Amino acid sequence: MNRTRVFAVSRKVLRSLRHDRRTAGFLVLMPLFMITIFGYTFGGDIKDVPVVVVNLDAAYGNSSASDAVLEELTAGGVLKIERLYIVNPEGPAPGEASESAVSDAVSEVESGDAWAAIVFWGNFTENVLQSVEDIGSAPTTGPGTITIYMDASNTNIAQAITGEVRLTVQEVIVSEYHVLPPIVVTEDRVYGEGAEFIDFFAPGVMGLAAMMVTFMLSIISFVHERTTGTLERLLTTPVTEGEIVAGYALALGLVALVQSVVILVTAVALFQVQIEGSPLLVLLLIFVLGVGTQGLGFLLSSNAKTEFQAVQFLPIILFPSILLAGVFWPLEAVPELLRPVSYFIPLTYAVEGCRSVMIRGWGVEDVWVELLVLACFALAMLLLSTYSLKKRR
């Protein structure tokens, strides 16, 4: 091996970089960007999960075990108690009150406003105190009971809620009474009965795959069209800028669809992933995401002179989407500082929409917000892409 020739090749590579200042900047800024975003995102604990609580527990003397547990749950930070239903002694009979409160709370879970309705049943404190007294002898009463009516469509959140409730109950009771009597925490899944991590994960992967492929294909294709002169040539024919943009959108949207079908079929066949709602609605969400993302690629391609510069956009667009859009962990686990960014990422809406359809079994009437956001994103990208092409003339 000739040292001079090796150095000549190395020098050539480094000189090329020197002439492309943007690439040189990218090489320095990209690792900085990555370590910052990874550092902030990984290790984020789940926080502020919205839940509602129904406390049917009648206080026993001056002591209320349920209040003590609730106080600690509020202070813990994992759960955010959005509403507290209590039995009003002045109101309807306790039986009616409890029935309607539990059903109201559960309907909040069904509508997606809360992840769980935590119900402390009547006589919770009395049963806990009696159980404490009974320790060492035969039980004279049933255990204190808590039921969590839960939206388990997101397995991470479901585990966090159950874990937090169990742990807090144990800590509070042990701290108050210095013993741990039997307490029953039961789960009742409103959504996601039998759901596993793969059920949570599959919609995320589907959205991510569609986004990655459509973005890569469109940005590389358009840079290629621009650098080889084919775009210029197309525009000397009767085809309009809008027609070129629409043609690409249709083709790459279909690519995203085909991919999603492959992922869906594989996930169902190999991992028995649930599809409670309409698979067509899932595909529609992915198609609209694909159309929008390819438009974004088109738009950014006008700022890249070479395929190499185009590739530099990939991590800038993809990393935040992978980390902040709720693909691998819920938005509740994204640090508060970065969480607003999540709502500006279209993938967030596609993943949330697909999950709601697949695990919760929701229809268009329930995921219209996600569909509308994605449609607005796609339309904006198509219009801006068309404008950027017209401006080139």
Partner 1 sequence: MADGEGSDERQAVATRGLRKEFGDLVAVAGLDLSVPRGTLYGMIGPNGSGKTTAIKMMVGRLRPTKGGARILEEDVPLAGASLARIGYMPQELAIYADLTVSENLQLFGSLYSMGRERFAKSGEALLSMVGLAERRDSLVSHLSGGMKHRASLACAMIHDPEVLFLDEPTVGVDPELRVGFWRNFSDLKSRGKTIIITTHYMDEAGRCDVVGMMRQGKLIAEGRPQDLMERTSTSSLEEAFLEYSRRDAA
Backbone angles phi and psi of 129, in degrees to 5: -65, -40
**Which segments of the chain are extended strands (E)?**
49-55, 79-86, 116-120, 144-151, 183-191
Site for partner 1 contains 2 (CB under 8 A): no
The span from the CA of 194 to the CA of 163, in Å, is: 18
Q: Indicate the residue among 5 and 391 with the shorter CB distance to partner 1.
A: 391
Under the binding rule (CB under 8 A), the answer on residue 236 touching partner 1 is yes
d(CA 85, CA 100): 10
How far is it, in rounded angstroms, from Cα 107 to Cα 81? 16
Give kind and range of the element (H or E) at residue 274: none
State the nearest-atom distance from the C-beta of 393 to partner 1, in Å. 6
- Nearer Cβ to partner 1, position 46 or 244? 244
Q: Give the pairing type, strands 116-120 and 183-191.
A: unpaired
Under the binding rule (CB under 8 A), the answer on residue 391 touching partner 1 is no
Choose, by CB under 8 A, the member of 31, 135, 184, 233 that binds partner 1: 233
Site for partner 1 in 243-302 (CB under 8 A): none
Stretch that binds partner 1, among 236-244, 264-272, 310-318, 324-332 (CB under 8 A): 236-244
- Rounded least distance, CB 344 to partner 1, Å: 35
Shortest Cβ distance from residue 19 to partner 1 (Å)? 20
- 158 in Cβ contact with 192 (< 8 Å): yes
Q: Is 308 exposed, middle or buried (0-12, 13-18, 19+ CB in 10 A)?
A: middle
Distance CA 357, CA 363 (A): 6
The 8-class DSSP code of residue 360 comes to: I
Stretch that binds partner 1, among 179-187, 231-239, 326-334, 350-358 (CB under 8 A): 231-239
**Count of beta carbons in the 10 Å neighbourhood of residue 279:** 15
Q: In angstroms, what is the minimal distance from the CB of 247 to partner 1?
A: 10
Is 174 among the residues that bind partner 1 (CB under 8 A)? no
CA distances from 302 to 78, 215, 244, 305 (A): 44, 14, 15, 8
Tell which one of 88, 230, 266, 303 touches partner 1 (CB under 8 A): 230
> Contact between 336 and partner 1 (CB under 8 A)?
no
Least distance in angstroms from the C-beta of 374 to partner 1: 30
CB of 236 to partner 1, least distance (A): 4
- Note whether 390 binds partner 1 by CB under 8 A: no
Min CB(16)–partner 1 separation in Å? 22
Span of 50-58, 61-69, 123-131, 237-245 interacting with partner 1 by CB under 8 A: 237-245
* Contact between 180 and partner 1 per CB under 8 A: no
Provide the 8-state DSSP code for 334.
S
Quick one: which segment of 58-66, 232-240, 291-299, 343-351 binds partner 1 (CB under 8 A)? 232-240
**Distance from C-alpha of 275 to C-alpha of 264, rounded to nearest angstrom:** 9
**Which CB atom, from 11 or from 233, has the smaller least distance to partner 1?**
233
237 binds partner 1 (CB under 8 A): yes
Q: For the chain, first and last CA: distance in Å?
A: 51
List the one residue from 235, 257, 318, 338 that touches partner 1 (CB under 8 A). Answer: 235
Residue 238 interacts with partner 1 (CB under 8 A)? yes
> Per-residue x/- mask for partner 1, residues 55 to 94, rule CB under 8 A?
----------------------------------------
Query: Cα dist. 203→192, 213, 249, 261, 275 in Å?
Result: 14, 16, 22, 12, 10
The site that binds partner 1 (CB under 8 A) totals a number of residues, namely: 12
Binding part of the chain for partner 1, among 223-231, 278-286, 329-337, 350-358 by CB under 8 A, reads 223-231
Residues ≥6 apart with Cβ < 8 Å to 83? 52, 53, 105, 108, 114
Q: Could you list the residues that contact partner 1 (CB under 8 A)? A: 228-230, 232-239, 393
